[in-house]
Copies of this chain bind each other. A is one copy, B any other.
Amino acid sequence: MKDTIPTITTGALPAASKIYVTGESHDIRVPMREIAISNEAPLTIYDSSGPYSDPATRIDISKGLPESRGGWLAARGDVEEYKGRCVTDADNGFAKGERLVAPFPAPHVALRATGERSVTQLAYARAGIITPEMEFVAIRENEGRLAAPVRDGEPMGAELPDLVTPEFVRREIAEGRAIIPANINHRELEPMIIGRNFKVKINANIGNSAVTSSMEQEVEKMVWAIRWGADTVMDLSTGRNIHNIRDWIIRNAPVPIGTVPLYQALEKVGGIAEDLTWEVFRDTLVEQAEQGVDYFTIHAGIRLHMVPMTAKRVTGIVSRGGSIMAKWCLHHHRESFLYEHFEDICDICRRYDVSFSLGDGLRPGSIADANDEAQFAELRTLGELTKIAWAKECQVMIEGPGHVPMHKIKANMQEQLKHCHEAPFYTLGPLTTDIAPGYDHITSAIGAAMIGWFGTAMLCYVTPKEHLGLPDRDDVKTGVITYKLAAHAADLAKGHPGAQRRDDALSRARFEFRWQDQFNLGLDPDTAREMHDETMPAEAHKVAHFCSMCGPKFCSMRISHDIRAEAEKREGMERMAEKFREGGALYVPTEPAS
């Protein structure tokens, strides 16, 4: 057994401090990040990084994070403790001795709904109940704002209120337009919401594979990913030790954790797709639901008759889950057990409030295959499944592509809205060209920003290693930052209230040569500072009124200040201004940030 207390990245981000906003109706503390600015009021922003970035919290991953949701669940009085399923050797891929990752040491009591009740946020929302989770995300979405700034943007049909209220959250969930992935067994969670009428979110994938990786690395990757802004994390582990590694991750995760249960089920049957059965799969769902997985990717949309639709594709089926299920369907020549047992799956999910991410097993894997018959046939089935899940009071989001050239992106959003009844869309990219291996975080950020603008609620990141290998720590960071900027570009374009506050604060810092503020307000202060220091390392240069890009004589911003100063000095400026076709004083100082 290896060291079970790995080094986890902790501590505040540069110039940032953690603040907590308390609820009005519930006993909740909503974390926010406050960025200090040298000559303005601090900027408060959304913060996904969890207790790890709070210097006041002692982190011990062998104990896990505090179960702050425990009291909320108890107060609802509709769940019961029970002795969960016993962990089997198969759960960890028969890893033994040295190769077995140690189980998570602290006890975790499994909860389930009492009787036949549904304990989903959707059920509560429909019943008119505003849960602590709903109030939590409402406060969180407002980022400490008290008022709406000037509105700008083209929301593309999204409804973006000036301020998000708990009741607005409840309504959005009740109508299926948003989800709060929050398994009752993930009591360490800081709830977040995924929906078109909220801030665009991003997901980071982690997970060991049969080829490489370890528990320590995976927990740190999760912490690292949320530090830079991942809103949810999918554990896509395959190979050995899946169960134990997932325990370590969930017990230490303040963000929702998603999985593809099929991966573990396949390990349990020795990697032979056709040997998969409903019983093995069902067992895996219960196992993961008891651990606290917040959302399951379920590839129930691939039907037998769709498999031949992929025959003429350039890149066939590129979803792992999709290819596994297609193989199963073809081998048995029948509809998949996921499709046939979908209601049974719902019955499991509603007992724990595991949300669905209905997998797009037939998503295109190349520009050539975008928006084809197979892809849209599956999408329509996902729409049918959405209705079934909703009837069972389960929360649902829909997975989307993939590889799509820019001119075919909007149709993806339109078809999804139409056929999936406005359930939140969760896309992978899409990549807008196939010719840039090594840069697919960028080819996909283009598509992600666009589809985010059009209404996609969550963007699954793509790292520079896409198509090439397993991302390491640096790749995870690059992927997360790239997707944070894409999601933010989408929020700006939608006119999300408050989104522009950070751009404006950074731009003011830029214009006023407040270099430290400029770094600290960016998505990655460390990298910005390092890049600046490469050519101008001296501390004195941090107050320099230029940078090495243009040098002092050609710094347009410095000259702009000279212009303003000169204009202010000159007499007769007002008279002069009148002569101009358009009047107004020159360089009136901008308003301080509200």
Shortest beta-carbon distance from A560 to chain B in Å: 3
Pair B527/A438 contact, Cβ less than 8 Å = yes
Pair A566/B531 contact, Cβ less than 8 Å = no
Chain B residue with Cβ nearest A484: B436
Pair B406/A489 contact, Cβ less than 8 Å = yes
Identify A590's interface contact among B312, B320, B484, B492, CB under 8 A: B312
- Judged by a CB distance under 8 angstroms, whether A366 is at the interface is yes
Pair B557/A503 contact, Cβ less than 8 Å = no
Identify A536's interface contact among B449, B469, B504, B527, CB under 8 A: B469
Given contacts A317-B559, A576-B333, contact A407 B154 (CB under 8 A): yes
Binary contact readout A141-154 vs B (1 if CB under 8 angstroms, 0 otherwise): 00000000000111
Select the residue from A437, A500, A563 with max chain B CB neighbours within 10 A.
Answer: A437
Taking chain A's interface residues, is the majority helix, strand, or loop, or is none over half, making it mixed? helix
Chain B residue with Cβ nearest A153: B407
Pair B489/A443 contact, Cβ less than 8 Å = yes
Binary contact readout A236-262 vs B (1 if CB under 8 angstroms, 0 otherwise): 001100000000000000000000000
Pair B308/A586 contact, Cβ less than 8 Å = yes
Pair A557/B315 contact, Cβ less than 8 Å = yes
Identify A318's interface contact among B152, B239, B406, B557, CB under 8 A: B557
Residues of chain B within 8 A of A322, CB atoms compared: 556
Pair A521/B435 contact, Cβ less than 8 Å = yes
A153 to B433, CA, bound (A): 13
Identify A323's interface contact among B263, B306, B563, B580, CB under 8 A: B563
Identify A549's interface contact among B465, B552, B564, B584, CB under 8 A: B465
Chain B residue with Cβ nearest A532: B468
In A557-586, the 8 Å CB interface with B consists of 557, 559-564, 566-567, 576-577, 579-586
- Judged by a CB distance under 8 angstroms, whether A524 is at the interface is yes
Identify A434's interface contact among B503, B553, B554, CB under 8 A: B503
- Judged by a CB distance under 8 angstroms, whether A485 is at the interface is yes
Pair B449/A446 contact, Cβ less than 8 Å = yes
Pair B485/A433 contact, Cβ less than 8 Å = yes
Binary contact readout A419-456 vs B (1 if CB under 8 angstroms, 0 otherwise): 00000000000001111111101110110011001000
Given contacts A453-B407, A511-B315, contact A549 B436 (CB under 8 A): no
A466 to B556, CA, bound (A): 14
Residues of chain B within 8 A of A470, CB atoms compared: 535, 548-549
Pair B330/A563 contact, Cβ less than 8 Å = yes
Given contacts A551-B238, A563-B330, contact A436 B485 (CB under 8 A): yes
- Judged by a CB distance under 8 angstroms, whether A304 is at the interface is yes
Shortest beta-carbon distance from A271 to chain B in Å: 4
Identify A485's interface contact among B266, B271, B435, CB under 8 A: B435
In A520-538, the 8 Å CB interface with B consists of 521-524, 527-528, 531-532, 534-536
Pair A464/B581 contact, Cβ less than 8 Å = no
Residues of chain B within 8 A of A468, CB atoms compared: 528, 531-532, 547, 549
- Judged by a CB distance under 8 angstroms, whether A594 is at the interface is no
21 interchain pairs, CB-CB under 8 A: A209-B551, A238-B550, A238-B554, A263-B554, A307-B563, A309-B582, A314-B511, A315-B510, A320-B559, A324-B554, A366-B510, A367-B500, A405-B492, A406-B492, A407-B492, A432-B493, A433-B492, A436-B484, A438-B524, A439-B524, A468-B547
